[in-house]
Amino acid sequence: MVALFFYSNFCKYYLFSRYRFMIVLGTTDQEQIVYVIPRIATTNIELSIVDDITGELLNDSSTSELYGDYLKISLLIDGLVKNRFYTFRIKNSDTLKNIYKDKIFVTDQVIDQINNKTYSINKDQYVKVESNNDYIVIWAEENQYRERLML
């Protein structure tokens, strides 16, 4: 009984909350496609994309269509800034209630988790310095070290 409780809580809180997804977009001026699962399946939507730093509402022109259980949204957003987060909200146009909310992260790096290409904040910033790694180790006897600490 205890093992079953532990296993169910482990799966519930660790396995399923381990991977947190967000929408990753590029700074391109071309159309970018996003698939979401809204609370209500409708194409009468209003999008809002707000910069988390400045609070500025970005202009976008988008089209949406239902694609099975998914809502396929084609975004064309002006003014995306690289390495910034945005709040993405979708509201139902009829009731003005939120039907989806997520975060958007903008980067120009290629992210492909299947091939283990993940985002790196230090990409192309590390410079390898060639050296001969010569160093000197000075050993002191144990008693000399203790005498120095006592003084």
Q: What is the DSSP string of 47-99?
A: EEEEETTT-PBPPEEEEEEEETTEEEEEEEES---TTEEEEEEEEETTT--EE
Domains defined along the chain, listed by start = 2-118 (2.60.40)
pLDDT tens readout for residues 17-73: 444 578 888 888 889 999 999 999 888 899 999 999 999 999 888 888 998 889 999
- Residue 87: count other Cβ atoms within 10 Å of its Cβ: 15
pLDDT tens readout for residues 98-141: 999 999 999 888 776 677 777 776 676 766 767 776 666 666 56
Q: Do 25 and 104 contact (CB within 8 A), yes or no?
A: yes
Tell me the whole-structure pTM to 2 decimals.
0.65
- According to DSSP, residue 21 is labeled -
Whether 11 has a pLDDT exceeding 50, the answer reads no
**Spatial separation of the C-alpha atoms in residues 97 and 45, rounded to whole Å:** 10
Whether 12 has a pLDDT exceeding 90, the answer reads no
